[in-house]
Amino acid sequence: MVTWNNLDTLASWKELEAIEKVNLAEVMSGENGAERVKKYSVPMAEGLAYNYAAKSVDDTVLAGLAKLAGEAQLSEKFAALYNGEMINTGEKRLVLHQLTRGQLGDAVIADGVDKRAFYAEQQQKIAEFANKVHAGEITNEAGEKFTAVVQIGIGGSDLGPRAMYLALENWAKKNDTFKMEAHFISNVDPDDAAAVLNGIDVAHALFVLVSKSGTTLETLTNESFVKDALKNAGLDASRHMVAVTSETSPLAKSDDYLAAFFMDDYIGGRYSSTSAVGGAVLSLAFGPEVFAQFLEGAAKADETAKNPDALQNPAMLDALIGVYERNILGYQCTAVLPYSQALSRFPAHLQQLDMESNGKSVNRYGEPVSYVTGPVIFGEPGTNGQHSFYQLLHQGTDIVPLQFIGFRNNQCGRDVLIQDSTSQQKLCANVAAQIVAFACGKEDENLNKKFEGGRPSSIIIGDQLTPGSLGALLSHFENKVMFQGFLWNLNSFDQEGVQLGKVLAKRVLAHETDGALKVYSDLLNI
């Protein structure tokens, strides 16, 4: 039987607090460090590996973390989730994003429907639609092929799909699967929509409107902006738009759209990249086969997350180490540092995934917790970040755990030899150097040049960023966040924290304000 308890009530947690802390700079120096790099690595799906040698752990800490995973019933809670128990206690909903890419356990029947079959059906509908667009069977009014796709959405309807598109754009061009350019409109700021519309040929653009409820203010505002642009160009907007929404939304059966693809309330926006939310735009951009490879990679990583051995389960182990760093070592932030330009927006996606899921101060029962929960997530791709905020990471007063991501090969297949090494070798040399520099530091009598070291990091390493490895990477972080939420006894699948501002904004627009809200409204000329 699964029981849900606060982290600080678990006996194994109290034992873990008493374990001697690891001197990272010491254990990572010399031959000890070399042995750790070989030892502290666990395979992931799609040829990836999670290496945590430069984390502040040793065999004793790891044994304590494994014991904690058992007492917290992490595997059992994951099984409860994928077998269809009501895990989202805030909204009294199932949590089914893993089901969009494969069946992990029992058939899940909700609302009288086999949900795996439903998600597979939507994927097939999207594939058939995308293939017809690519073949010129679905065209604009002039019978001409669409050459660009524009997604209109915000939050999880933008961040994840945008990050995945950028991650695969160069790969698709190199592998001759690039079909259509994709663009994204998210911000209600009219400059966002205008910039996209000014940069495309609207007559040959297909717009994907994404709103589960069909009532999202920012998204509907941007839809009106786009429809106005289409009208001004003498175009029929209904011949240029498709909807991704729920079956019960006002968009579902509207004549304003060429087609509608469905999602449901069991998939949160930040977990929706493998649903129709990501499926439509990615299938149109790269072809349904590429999206299917992406789903397959995510499904394989989900399978590894079922492993009850915490030390052989990369997502669970990453989550456990993260909680150890947050709650015992007292680190407040985590930096995600992909040494891959293709992953330039991946940290932004993980910001929402992590901070919207575990940025909570009450447990699953609405009771305040007496310990810290989710960290602040930020990041930029390397090597750009090295010339930006790494100064603070190396020599600042706060220690920030780091999550590097690196690949042995680039996506474009092109490189150049400069000063006896290629660009890719230089990139990889930098990430290797940073890991050791952060961990080991450097002594210097001049304190301005001294590096304390002891700054922990992990790295996920792969051969190349492909659709499959991207899917596995996405799943890894989704499951890491899930396991951390289980440990903190949080409901990681609602987001009440985004609602208050929306309510107040509606009051401002209705001119129903007083006090400070009225003064700020007047200052902004609303």
- 387 belongs to the catalytic site: yes
Q: β-strands 260-263, 241-246: how paired?
A: parallel
> What is the residue whose two structure tokens read 């951390």?
484
Among all chains, which residue has been given the structure tokens 């073949």? 135
What whole-number distance in Å separates Cα of residue 138 and Cα of residue 337? Answer: 41
Q: Are 4 and 72 in contact (CB under 8 A)?
A: no
Q: How far apart are CA 362 and CA 344, in angstroms?
A: 33
How many beta carbons lie within 10 A of that of residue 326, not counting itself? 23
Distance CA 479, CA 490 (A): 14
HSE, CB side, 13 Å, CA atoms: give it for residue 414: 6
Q: Calculate the dihedral angle through the C-alpha atoms of 210, 344, 349, 354, rounding to the nearest 10 degrees.
A: 180
What is the DSSP secondary-structure string of 43-55? E-GGG-EEE-TTS
Do 331 and 507 meet the contact criterion of CB atoms below 8 Å apart? no
Q: Are strands 333-339 and 49-51 parallel, antiparallel or unpaired?
A: unpaired
Q: Which two tokens stand for residue 13?
A: 């947690």
- SS3 category, 479: helix
Report the C-alpha gap between 483 and 74 in whole angstroms.
7
Q: Active-site residue among 387, 426, 442, 506?
A: 387
Residue 141 bears catalytic tag: no
Q: Which of 223, 296, 325, 356 is catalytic?
A: 356
Give Cβ neighbours of residue 197 (< 8 Å, ≥ 6 apart).
225, 226, 229
Q: How far apart are CA 97 and CA 76, in angstroms?
A: 18
Alpha helices by DSSP H, listed for 369-420, are 390-395
**How far apart, in Å, do the first and last CA atoms of the chain sit?**
55
Catalytic residue among 141, 502, 506, 512: 502
CA 399-404-408 angle, to 5 degrees, is 155
- DSSP readout, 441-463? -B--SSGGG-B-----EEEEEES
DSSP lists the bridge partners of residue 216 as: none
d(CA 86, CA 89): 7
442 noted as active-site residue: no
Residues with active-site annotation = 356, 387, 502
